[in-house]
Amino acid sequence: MSLDFSFIWTAFVSLLTAVPTTLKITAVSVLCGFAIGTAIALCRMYRVPVLHRIAAAYVTVIRGTPMLTHLLILYFAIPLIVDGLAERFDWAIRSAQIPMIGFAYLSFSITAGAYLSEVVRSGLLAVSKGQMEAAHAVGMTTPQALRRIVFPQAFAAALPNLTNSVIGMLHGSTLAFTVSVVDINAQAEIVATTNWKFFEAYLAAALLFWGMTVLIERLSALLERRVTRYSRGGVA
Amino acid sequence: MGAQFDIQYVFEYFVKLLPFIQISLFIVASSIVLGLLFGLLAALPRLYRVPVLQRLSQLYASFFRGTPILIQLFLLYYGLPEVLKLVHIDITRLPVLVFVILVYGLHSGAYVSEGIRAAVSAVDRGQVEAAYAVGMNGFQAFTRIVFPQAIAIAVPILANLVIATLKDTSLAFTLGVMELTGKSQTLATMSRHFIESYIALAAVYFILSIALERLFLLAERRMLKHERDTGKTEKVPLGKKWLKKRTNAAIALSKGGTGA
């Protein structure tokens, strides 16, 4: 068996059908993760009595365990919980009705939340305290000051780390194959096993991921130039 | 799907998983050693701006950072034997563990090369100039002056990498290596107590990563001793801030380091 270059293209084309799934998992987990992460970062920064301890524990536990274990635990725990509750309260839903991709969404959002909370926290800490004080001085309330003054600057400061997290989640979405979601990785396996051309199929998948990663990096570089415009210095 | 939740199994599986820590740690250790080697080899051409090799190492770092480790595992596992068959080397009989370690080594090597670049760039340019001024050659200046300082800066980066690699080893089961994750799956298939088994697995990983984090914190304190000896009150916070600063390697490179 030798290398079949034309098959790399064939595999590449058939992998494209799975791109939306991968992107959906990435987008959902990053967006939900960002919301969770922001809430957690604020809890920890403002030391909300009980919540900040829980938040700290959540971040430590999630960051200390592999993403795969989160997915596997939830995959087996959720049906047990849902069915248990449904039986007790006579709900009509059963765990079998939950689509497979739902587990991926939920688990990866939880994972992303912990990682993104650190990103958001470091971004918020990068904004100098004087900005907040100045906002208070001109009469803004704390939520206003956060939204109008602190968040835009924190976003600019956190963008490189945020990009890394997005890429991390994109790469992490390959784990979804363990719960039988057909993402790019699973599609590559299907293409590989049906044609018995493993190397070509995975090469195509690697090239696809590489291209997507480079694209995200480029886009983030463009965005960075836009959002850091306020701090370019100089006079013009 | 599974049986009823029973906390007893968590403890039972936890104990049963313990012997498999060593194989996971073996993968981590050998791939980090390999990664340091690959990383140093890939970083040097970029630090010294060697014409063609610089591009190649850029490509290497970009590829291994730009593709998921899972894809890399499959790619090398299936691809390497075929590529080497073209030059008549048969490696199909090698144990899977060799492929796994090679992939993790290459993967971490890409991150190590970026880390080394950032760390070397963070060493003050004046240090190299001073080394040249006292008559050292380029090699001496690098090994005696820049490298020891860069190592201290690189410890937190390395710590992150080691912990990330530990968590990544959970994917080695896809190629059939019997490490922690693989074992936890076989344990569960016999009794159908999946959740308990995976909770035990998560606990093992958690304890390992916390332990590694503590160890690296100790190492970092030890290595930054030279920073603390001069001007005790002033230098400590300064040194820490300097560590936490995220250096953009591409920008920082022009400001210092051995090249440029």
Contact (CB<8Å) B71/A206: yes
8-state DSSP, B231: S
Please list the pLDDT of chain A residue by residue as tens digits (236 residues).
Answer: 567 778 888 888 888 998 999 999 999 999 999 999 999 999 988 888 889 899 999 999 999 999 999 999 999 888 888 888 888 887 777 777 888 889 999 999 999 999 999 999 999 888 888 998 999 999 999 889 988 988 888 888 889 889 999 999 999 999 988 888 888 888 988 888 888 888 888 999 999 999 999 999 999 999 988 888 777 666 65
Report chain A residues whose CB lies below 8 A from the CB of B70: 171, 174-175, 185
Asked, for residue B244, whether it belongs to a domain, the answer is yes
Would B10 be classed as within a structural domain?
A: no
Q: Is residue A85 part of a domain?
A: yes
- Could you give the number of structural domains in chain B? 1
Three-point CA angle A210, B26, A170, nearest 5°: 20
> Min CA distance, B160 vs chain A (Å)?
11
Which range of residues forms the domain containing residue B203?
21-255
Q: What is the residue range of A132's domain?
A: 19-184
* Contact residues, chain B, for A96 at CB < 8 Å: none
CA distance B9 to B24: 22
C-alpha dist (Å) from residue B103 to A170, A181, A234, B99, B114: 19, 25, 47, 6, 17
- Chain B nearest CA to A43, separation (Å): 22
Token pair in block for residue A226: 């836009």
CB atoms within 10 A of CB A88: 8
Q: Is residue B1 part of a domain?
A: no
Residues of chain A with C-beta less than 8 angstroms from the C-beta of B71: 174, 185, 188, 202, 205-206, 209
Q: Is the ipTM of this complex over 0.90?
A: no
Indicate whether A200 belongs to any domain. no
Best to test chain A binding among B17, B62, B70 (most A CBs inside 10 Å): B70
- Look at residue B94 and tell me if it is in a domain: yes
CA nearest to A168 within chain B:
B68
Rounded to a whole number of angstroms, the distance from the CA of B229 to the nearest CA of chain A is 29
- Residues of chain B contacting A97 with CB distance shorter than 8 Å: none
Assess if residue A233 is contained within a domain: no
- Answer whether residue B51 is part of any domain: yes
B216 burial level (CB within 10 Å; 0-12, 13-18, 19+): middle
CATH of residue A38's domain is: 1.10.3720.10
Please indicate, yes or no, if residue A136 is contained in any of the structural domains: yes
Q: Nearest-CA neighbor of A231 among A169, A178, A160, A157?
A: A157
Number of domains present in the structure of chain A: 1
- Residue B237 placed within a domain: yes
